[in-house]
Amino acid sequence: MNRNPTNRPSDHFRRGPAVRIPKLSSACRSIREDLGLSRAEARDRTGLSDGYLFEIERGKHVPSLEALEKLIAGYRLNLMQARHLRDLRAPAEDLLPTAKLRECLIANDVLMSHLQELEKRGVFGAYIDPVWNMLACNDSCRAAMPGLEENAESIPAWLFSPTAKTIVIEWEREAAHAAAALKAIFGRYRHSEQVRDLARRLRPNHDANRLWSPSTNVAYGRDAGDPLHWRHPSTGQPNSYIMTASEVNQTQNVLLVTALRRPYCGPNIA
């Protein structure tokens, strides 16, 4: 048996599917192991004792804010990773059920008419919840994601479907980014029914587990300068889109996502 803790298989591989709702304890351990640090080396970096680190990683002790900041500094985490650990230490945020959010949204004539205005301007428009469940969208947006209904209106579940691989250019890159973003979302809303349901949907998916497990990266949002490249489902014509997401003030837990088409600027494709 390998007795070097830095070379032991992570909990993800010992316990089955990698797609899991994150916990502060497992996140701290995964980061340490990803850095290749023993607990003694982590102690030297953070100033926290071996025993204290062990209790944090086993979920026996919630680190104080001061201790968490020592971990963040000692492990030299980037801004996204640091935010993720702080989110996991803080209470989970509440999230209304998807059905309730959709009901409130559809009843708002102003918000629904805005989707049609976007359609007239040639802009894809959709309202989603923070776990990327589709609440409502215009016709152009719906046509761009055939099979979304079969994936329970879940954009992440659709993205990891065979259909998406034929439409999304640079699918591997986009799926990896989605996995990193979902880790952040799962941490923030970890007690919501939407997160539990999506985790169940993704666990049997080989690609979701493959892209989830090897990385401790997390992502919050998408860089506005990073276009999404998409094939038209019917013609196969490639297009590039600039995506934006903003909170809808009138309705809690609803985001407006828009995609403005631009001339194709992605990688060379056959």
Q: Positive or negative, the Cα torsion across 107, 113, 118, 124?
A: positive
- Provide the pLDDT for residue 6: 38
Give every residue of the chain whose pLDDT is below 70, as ranges: 1-17, 270
Give ∠ CA 201-206-209 in degrees, rounded to 5: 75
User: How do residues 76-104 score in pLDDT, each as one tens digit?
Assistant: 999 999 999 999 999 999 999 999 999 99
Cβ contacts of 27 within 8 Å, gap of 6 or more: 84, 85, 88, 187, 216
Q: Give the separation between CA 84 and CA 24, rounded to whole angstroms.
A: 9
What global pTM score does this model have? 0.89
Tell me which DSSP letter residue 37 carries.
-
Alpha-carbon gap, residue 51 to 63, rounded angstroms: 12
